[in-house]
């Protein structure tokens, strides 16, 4: 009975929200991957109910809540997805990008041994313990239910927030369709990932002097001024 009731609530909610809103939210949630995925309608319902709860709590507990409650509720409603979904997606993108080079290096070696693309993906994902491997492994399971490799790779792209990885998947799809040399394509993509990592590392290094300067201005300069002016202040206070 509880399942049926929950299904009815979900069906009603789908009629309330615009289909485009549900579709866009689900596409964003899918980027969280298999480990942290849920239904877009449920998230939209939670956002509405918690916003209403916040609104009435502010009105009830705070003097002048009639002015503050609408503003706080609006900000909560707008920024909730950014803090609960977008932030996780950005962290996941960084994590997947850091795993990509090793995964695709092993995949290329598997391809060089004479395996097909689907078999190489299976062997690689089964022998590497990473989030990217998990996504690939879960996607390949759909082939047991009749999906083609290209369909599986297309679905995989919808759960990967990294443009770098999705570009490699796209190249793998094209090589699989048109019969191009996939090994040469993989080596080119690995070189691109390596160059990108070097550039990102250089960018981080170049920001270090700026961070040090900010820290110096905030902490060290006031401390030095205090040390220089301390004797003068002591003499002045002693004279008083």
Domain positions in the chain are 2-90, 94-196
Q: Is the pTM of this model over 0.85?
A: no
What pLDDT is attached to residue 4? 44
**Residues with pLDDT less than 50, the chain:** 1-6, 8-9
Residue 151, CA atoms < 13 Å, CB-side half-sphere = 8
What pLDDT is attached to residue 62? 82
The distance from CA 124 to its chain's CA centroid, rounded to whole angstroms, is 23
Q: With respect to CATH, is domain 94-196 assigned 1.10.1760?
A: no
Q: Which of 76, 90, 7 is nearest to 42 (CA)?
A: 7
Cβ burial 135-160 (10 Å sphere, 16+ → b, else e): bbbbbbeeeeeebebeebbeebbebb
Q: Which of 10, 30, 44 is nearest to 161 (CA)?
A: 30
Q: What are phi and psi of 114, to 5 degrees?
A: 105, 5
What pLDDT is attached to residue 15? 67
Q: What are phi and psi of 27, to 5 degrees?
A: -65, -35
| CB 139 within 8 Å of CB 149 | no
Which is it for the CA torsion 131, 134, 138, 139, positive or negative? positive
**C-alpha–C-alpha distance, residues 208 and 198, integer Å:** 16
What pLDDT is attached to residue 2? 41
| CB 89 within 8 Å of CB 25 | no
Nearest-10 crossing angle of helices 163-178, 182-215: 170
Q: What is the CA radius of gyration of the chain?
A: 27
**C-alpha–C-alpha distance, residues 190 and 111, integer Å:** 14
Q: For 71-129, write each residue's pLDDT tens digit.
A: 999 999 999 999 889 999 999 999 999 999 999 999 999 989 888 888 999 999 999 99
């Amino acid at each position: 009975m509880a399942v049926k009731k929950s299904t009815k609530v979900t069906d009603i909610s789908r009629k309330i929200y615009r289909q485009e809103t549900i579709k866009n939210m689900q596409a964003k949630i899918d980027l969280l991957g298999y480990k942290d995925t849920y239904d877009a309608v449920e998230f939209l319902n939670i956002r509405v109910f918690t916003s209403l709860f916040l609104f009435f709590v502010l009105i009830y507990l705070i003097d002048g809540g009639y002015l503050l409650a609408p503003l706080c509720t609006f900000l909560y409603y707008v920024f909730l997805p950014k803090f609960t979904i977008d932030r996780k997606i950005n962290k996941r993108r960084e994590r997947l990008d850091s795993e990509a080079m090793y995964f695709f290096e092993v995949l290329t070696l598997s391809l060089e041994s004479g395996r097909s693309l689907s078999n190489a993906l299976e062997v690689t994902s089964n022998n590497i313990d990473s989030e990217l491997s998990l996504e690939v492994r879960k996607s390949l399971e759909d082939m047991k239910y009749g999906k083609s490799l290209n369909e599986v790779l297309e679905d995989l792209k919808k759960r990967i927030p990294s443009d770098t990885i999705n570009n490699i998947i796209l190249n793998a799809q094209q090589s699989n369709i048109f019969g191009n040399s996939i090994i040469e394509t993989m080596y080119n993509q690995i070189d691109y990932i390596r160059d990108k990592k070097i550039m990102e590392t250089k960018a981080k290094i170049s920001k270090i002097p700026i961070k040090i300067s900010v820290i110096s201005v905030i902490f060290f300069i006031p401390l030095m001024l205090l040390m220089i002016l301390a004797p003068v202040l002591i003499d002045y206070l002693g004279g008083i």
